[in-house]
Homo-oligomer: A and B are copies of this chain.
Amino acid sequence: MPVGTHGAVRGVLPDELQTIGARMILANTYHLSLRPGAGTIARAGGLHRFMGWEGPILTDSGGYQVFSLSNFRKIDDEGVHFRSHLDGSEIFLTPESAIEIQEQLGADVAMILDQCPPYPATREEVASAVERTQHWARRCRDRAKRPDQALFGIVQGGIFPDLREESLAGLLPLGFEGMAIGGISVGEPRSLQRRVVEHLAPRLPSDTPRYLMGVGFPDDILDAVAAGIDLFDCVVPTRHGRNGSVFTRDGLINIRNATFAEDFRPFDENCPCTACTGFTRAYARHLILAGEMVGARLCTLHNLSFYLDLLAGSRRAIESGTFESFRRDFLDRFPRSPETPSARRKTETP
């Protein structure tokens, strides 16, 4: 899912998303509820109509952004008190209000409000977040009313396998329409992240979607697909794109580099996107250096196309039983991402 924080994937229009094969997008409840407000979007006829996207939309619950973006927060069993990063106003988010807001937005998939501890956190802190997430999950399930909106649970538990299993075991009886792994890529080393996903993904229900939140680089995604994950969201392709970091079959390139000044090839010879069929690296470099919006558009569009093609290729390979060789072929050329996670925030900058 490309990320449309403010109800628009940065720089990209819905028909362009469709052309490059996007099926579903994510929008951020935290941002949209502060501006323009869930009421405005409801009165516009819902988020699909407001933003002109006819495909499925998933909204997060806003919890993660409260913990990562807002200026002040106090958390108790009832909910989270925080201040808007826009105007400092005090807001109280509860499991019930998180659901109500998402019902107003009208997404196809809503997420429960969870507590997502940062890394590192003590076992006690993580256990407490698991317990609170469990209570909140039940309250979300009880409040959710829209028959046309799926509700996904979120497994917490940090890097502790037994707490992850405990969290999952608590959520299963609540009958969610999909299950997500949360609390990943919050600062932990990638090797630990991979271990959690490999442990937990096969344990998620296989008859509903398995969603890994906020991950990641192409190699992370292929690893997670191998472990059984179906659904991803990540700001990497869009954020990297508008900064001029471009994904190619041979790895990430920084298009600002002087080496591309007269590189009149496309980003990627075999990519069918608008950027690659009509424009060169030299042109994109020039526009990014000049601060021209079209440069950000081209790099973003290509990166999204690259990610969507990677997942489409994975689906086809799974269907034909060749996923392992597909993954190996990809990783033979595409360098592994560095161990320390970077630029992995799960939300576009406010």
Contacts and interface: CB of A to CB of B under 8 A. Distances in A.
B296 A293 contact: yes
A153 interface: no
A297 B293 CA distance: 9
A7 B280 CA distance: 13
Contacts of A292: 6, 8, 10
Given A52-B279, A280-B44, A280-B50, A35 B294 contact: no
B280 A13 contact: no
Given A36-B282, A50-B283, A51-B283, A264 B10 contact: no
Interface residues of A, number: 41
Contacts of A8: 287, 292, 294-295
A278 interface: yes
Contacts of A289: 35-36
A24 interface: no
Interface string A18-31: 00000000000001
Contacts of A286: 6-7, 35-36, 40
Given A36-B261, A290-B35, A13 B283 contact: no
A250 interface: no
A298 B8 CA distance: 12
Contacts of A9: 294
A6 B292 CA distance: 8
A282 B13 contact: no
A229 to B, nearest CB: 29
A264 B44 contact: yes
A125 interface: no
Given A7-B286, A293-B297, 13 more contacts: A8-B287, A8-B292, A10-B294, A12-B294, A35-B286, A35-B289, A36-B285, A40-B286, A43-B262, A43-B264, A44-B264, A44-B283, A297-B297
26 contacts: A6-B286, A6-B290, A7-B283, A7-B287, A9-B294, A10-B294, A11-B294, A11-B297, A12-B294, A13-B294, A15-B274, A31-B290, A36-B282, A40-B261, A40-B262, A40-B282, A43-B264, A44-B280, A44-B283, A45-B264, A50-B282, A50-B283, A52-B278, A242-B293, A293-B293, A293-B296
